[in-house]
Amino acid sequence: MKRIASLAAAFVLSVSPLAAQDKPVEILNASYDIARELFAQINPAFTATWKAKTGQTIEIKQSHGGSSRQARAILEGLQADVVTFNQVTDIDVLRDKGGYVARDWQRRFPNNASPYYSLPAFLVRKGNPKGIRDWSDLVRPDVQSVFPNPKTSGNARYTYLAAYAFALEQAQGDQARAQDFVKRLLANVPVFDTGGRAATTTFVERGIGDVLITFEAEVNGIRKEYGDKGFEIVVPSLSILAEFPVAVVDKVAGKRGTEATAKAYLDFLYSQAGQEILAENYNRVHHPAVIERHKGRFPAVRLVRVEEVFGGWDKVTAEHFAEGGILDKVFVKR
């Protein structure tokens, strides 16, 4: 018994803050669910660069989860030094509830603090048997679409907004017709999963649906991963700009004294080396030389911004996603 007690005491001591002081610099990146492979490549590249530049060894830890869930965890005390999310609103939450990030976090880094961007695109089955080319094909009665539940998934919210923006343009700004369009689109979804990866499983493993809609980067990843299934990628004529915002969590980094490292880490995402890795993973980037090299990967597409079409995220949230909003109206049970 005594031995067990002293063992237990040793474990408790080893996790107490006192013991944690003379470890190498460590930063924690709280990120969204499907970015694991991406940061598994980014992190070693950055640590090598940092070591060459400063001689300092650092370790980057990763935490992945739905980006809203991650924001919530940080509010509850998860010690993340930086966030790399797929939703602007999830960083805004960190700003609004207790000032975890700077008020002007979107101006702290170039391009609205989004080192890369993507867009909802389509993955269709081998040979594209249903001839799916654009959003208008997804409301045909013979086409089944798969994407997660827009109520729970940021990814699906982009899909919803892209379809809405497309319909709004087709209908020359007629909101009623746009709403009818997304209503028909949602009615064609056989299963609503809670997150992007679950929707992928539904489409790939369970073989449900004719088209899977998710970020272009993810669509390419799935095609590569399941090469034997011969999936094809379709980029619609119009889609919505999905920014992948980053920020230093000042409140945490300030306390842990990691601000400089955290900032350098996010700066690295904008460097040519960083942008190269991002583009390798089918994310669209801003660096001219990298864009030039990967031209073939990214078909031309017209991207609209949430700010232009919907008047900003606050307005979208209030009008579309809040309780009793437009989404609730068009998202009827079949």
Partner 1 sequence: MSDVASPPIAAHRSRAVPRLLIGLGVVLTLAFVAMPVAVIFAQALSKGLAVYRANVLAPDTLHAIYLTVVIAVVVVPVNMLFGLAAAWLITRFAFPGRKLLVTLIELPFSISPIVAGVIYLLLYGAQGLLGPFLEAHDIRIMFALPGMMLVTLFVTSPFVARELIPLMQVQGADQEEAAVTLGASGWQTFWRVTLPNIRWALLYGAVLCTARAIGEFGAVSVVSGNVRGETNTLPLHVELLYHDYNAVGAFAAATTLTLIALVTLVLKALLERRLERR
Nearest approach, Cβ of residue 240 and partner 1 (Å): 25
If the CB atoms of residues 65 and 325 are measured against partner 1, the closer one turns out to be 65
**Contact by Cβ (8 Å): 145, 209:** yes
From 3-11, 155-163, 277-285, 290-298, give the range in contact with partner 1 by CB under 8 A: 3-11
> For the packed helices 67-75 and 88-96, what is the interaxial angle rounded to 10 degrees?
10
In sequence order, which residues have a C-beta less than 8 Å from that of residue 274 and are 6 or more positions away?
A: 42, 45, 46, 115, 268
Binding mask 197-226 for partner 1 (x = CB under 8 A): x---------------------------x-
Burial of residue 26 (CB within 10 Å: 0-12, 13-18, 19+) is middle
Total residues in contact with partner 1, by rule CB under 8 A: 26
Binders of partner 1 among 72-111, rule CB under 8 A?
A: 73, 75-79
Q: How far is it, in rounded angstroms, from Cα 122 to Cα 232?
A: 8
Binders of partner 1 among 139-198, rule CB under 8 A?
A: 197
The DSSP symbol for 284 reads E
Q: Is 289 in the site for partner 1 (CB under 8 A)?
A: no
- The identity of residue 159, as a single letter, is T
Q: What angle do CA 271, 275, 278 make, to 5 degrees?
A: 145
Give the residue, chosen from 6, 8, 51, 308, that forms a contact with partner 1 under the rule CB under 8 A.
Answer: 8
Nearest approach, Cβ of residue 53 and partner 1 (Å): 24
Residue 169 has phi, psi (to 5 degrees) of -70, -45
Binders of partner 1 among 48-77, rule CB under 8 A?
A: 61-65, 73, 75-77
If the CB atoms of residues 35 and 113 are measured against partner 1, the closer one turns out to be 35
Residues that bind partner 1 (CB under 8 A): 1, 4-5, 7-8, 11-12, 15, 17, 28, 33, 36-37, 61-65, 73, 75-79, 197, 225
